[in-house]
Amino acid sequence: MTPIWVDIAGWGGALLILVAYGLLTAGRMAAASPAYQAMNLAGAVGFIINSGWNGAIPSAALNVIWAGIALVALIRLRRGPGPASRE
């Protein structure tokens, strides 16, 4: 039997990613916003926990990449615009 915290992580991750995508599609959130990227990162971590626990390796691998993309985006957002955009 799967521990409840694993199920909560999976459902919480799904909810975060779906809400983020819904807000983006509705024009209420920008893809370049820290909130959008943080929701994707946290959601992917929830999926990694759930799929890793349940042995769904392809899903876990996809979400490791998803989390990596969100983390890179958050780092870039924190650093600000790069030299090329200052021209």
pTM for the whole thing?
0.88
Does a structural domain hold residue 86?
Answer: no
> What's the rounded Cα separation, in Å, for the pair 13 and 10?
5
Report if residue 85 sits inside a domain. no
Full residue range of the structural domain in which residue 70 is found: 4-79
Total of domains in the chain = 1
State pLDDT tens for residues 42-87.
999 999 999 999 999 999 999 999 999 999 999 999 998 766 655 5
Mean pLDDT calculated for residue range 38-42: 99
Answer whether residue 65 is part of any domain: yes
pLDDT of 15 above 90: yes
pLDDT at 85: 58
Query: In this predicted structure, what is the pLDDT of residue 80?
Result: 87
Task: Report phi then psi at 27, rounded to 5.
Answer: 80, 15
The answer to whether position 15 is within a domain reads: yes
Tell whether 87 is covered by a domain: no
Residue with tokens 């919480």: 12
Q: How far is the C-alpha of 65 from the C-alpha of 45, rounded, in Å?
A: 10
Residue 18 in any domain: the answer is yes
